Structure 1
Amino acid sequence: MLQNCFTHSHWQDAFEAAEFVFERISNLALRSLDNEDKQHLLGLMAEVASDGVAAALFANKGCLAALNLLEQGRGVLAESIEAMRVDIMQLQEHYPDMAHQFVRLRDELEGVASDSDDEDGISRSDQRSKTGKEFDKLIEDIRSLPEFSSFLGQPSEAEIQGAAVGWAAGCHQRQQVSL
């Protein structure tokens, strides 16, 4: 759909499509995919981020909207490993039980890599799905805690502006843009 919107210069539709993808990417549970599928999906997310940034600017949505899409794409691609470590350290300091549960579930998700069945006949993909749902629920619970509303999430406008040094540039296969 994004490619069609770009072909016909429907910038608003392209922007909304990119937002739609990033709003729902967490529901895809990347954790439940095997490595080859993850790599393919992450490649698509890089394209969506690039297209979304260009569409945001051409649809006159402003730099913040474009930067938010850029950040969401970066977050999906990199999974914000360093930010995750910082968030976990802060969680450990304030809520050690939740931090322990987070690390346990994360490690479980990373360790359940094969699709074969275990001795109880439960498929690995079913186990990943179950653990992924527990993990998502825990993140939701953590985000409901004071000072943890953006736990593993995209930064607020104030955080983006505070981290900004100058400008950002984005290259798109059809357009060149800067923020």
Structure 2
Amino acid sequence: MELLAFNPLVKDLSRAWSLLHDAIHLIPRATLRSLDREDQQHILGKLTGLTSLAISVSLEISRSPLEALQLQELSRSITNGQLLDYRTDISDLMEEYPTLAKEFDSLRQTLDSPVPSSSTESSDTSKGKLLQILEQQAIIGRKNKAAQDLDNILFQIRQKPGFKNFLREESEEYFLSAAQEGPIVVLNVSKLRSDAILVTKAQVTSIALSDLSHDSMMKYFDNSKEIRVSENNEVKRELLEWLWTGAVRPVLRNLGFYPTPNLKKVGSLPRIWWIGVGLMAKAPIHVA
């Protein structure tokens, strides 16, 4: 998917961003709540790289860093729990609208219930296999109905005062409040460009990381997309220097935590939360 931005037929990056934006929002439709967990994870595995590319295209066409961050957080929520929308805490909803909250909770429990495996003792005979297939189809049918009902309940909830953005993209206030104890840095590398999205308690900004190229990153990953394991200290040092030069140092300078010609001395350093997108999630950023 990262090749999309470099395909000569794709010249309208604004259109590409629109498609990527819609694709991320449609992931829950591809990973239906009625599917079992293994099937959901298999489908999500096929979408690797989608979020990273969406962030890069978003920043390339000068969309706001907040929009890019919202896409990243939405995608993270989806991949970590097939949209945390039916695993989230609903205490506020329960307090304000208990009937809707109970319906929502009942539906998500239905969707979370497993579909019986076909490898059971009852499937030893043809009749047993037929009964099991019918049982599975009935459960899947109930799950599909529950998924449709859940969409309807979500629509009703979002019509209520104070719940307009219930289980949708997080607001700017949400991200700023998350950075009260220290900045949050999201690192993204794709074939199109590399960036750091910086979240402080005052604003969401971004900086381009020109020395953190995709090609140089791939030198440190093997074919299974894991960090290359090496006993060679020189290779390890090279990786850490690459991360320091390309990502950590420019971020610290931008945040005012590293001396520059105009800033000779810095004060006490706060905690920084580093978040990598895609392959960068596996990079030893904290060590650098």
Bin the TM-score by the shorter chain: 0.7 to 0.9
On the 8 A contact 1:5/1:13 being kept in 2, the answer is no
User: Which residue is 1:3 aligned to?
Assistant: 3
On the 8 A contact 2:31/2:43 being kept in 1, the answer is no
Q: Identity over the aligned pairs, expressed in percent? A: 26
Partners of 2:159 and 2:190 in 1: CA distance: 37
Match of 2:190 among 169, 172, 175: 172
**Offset of residue 71 of structure 1:** 1.6
On the 8 A contact 1:105/1:135 being kept in 2, the answer is yes
Partners of 2:184 and 2:86 in 1: CA distance: 21
Alignment of 1:8-87 (within 5 A): 8=8, 10=11, 11-28=13-30, 30-79=32-81, 81=84, 84-86=87-89
Q: Figure out how many residues of one structure are paired with residues of the other and give that number.
A: 176
Instruction: Give unpaired runs (5+ residues) of structure 1.
Output: none
Alignment of 1:141-160 (within 5 A): 141-160=156-175
Decide whether aligned partners of structure 1 residues 16 and 41 sit closer, same or farther in structure 2, where only a CA change above 3 A counts.
same
Decide whether aligned partners of structure 1 residues 161 and 42 sit closer, same or farther in structure 2, where only a CA change above 3 A counts.
same
Q: TM-score, normalised by structure 2?
A: 0.53
**Offset of residue 112 of structure 1:** 4.3
Paired residue secondary structure (1:167): strand
On the 8 A contact 1:45/1:73 being kept in 2, the answer is no
Decide whether aligned partners of structure 1 residues 94 and 45 sit closer, same or farther in structure 2, where only a CA change above 3 A counts.
farther
| Higher radius of gyration, 1 or 2 | 2
**Offset of residue 89 of structure 1:** 0.8
More contact order relative to length (CA 8 Å, sep ≥ 6): 1
Instruction: Give unpaired runs (5+ residues) of structure 2.
Output: 118-132, 198-288
Q: State the Cα deviation string for residues 17-69 of structure 1 (Å, max 9, x = none).
A: 21120232343452122333211222244421111011111222231221121
Decide whether aligned partners of structure 1 residues 71 and 44 sit closer, same or farther in structure 2, where only a CA change above 3 A counts.
farther
Is 127-136 or 56-65 further displaced after alignment? Answer: 56-65
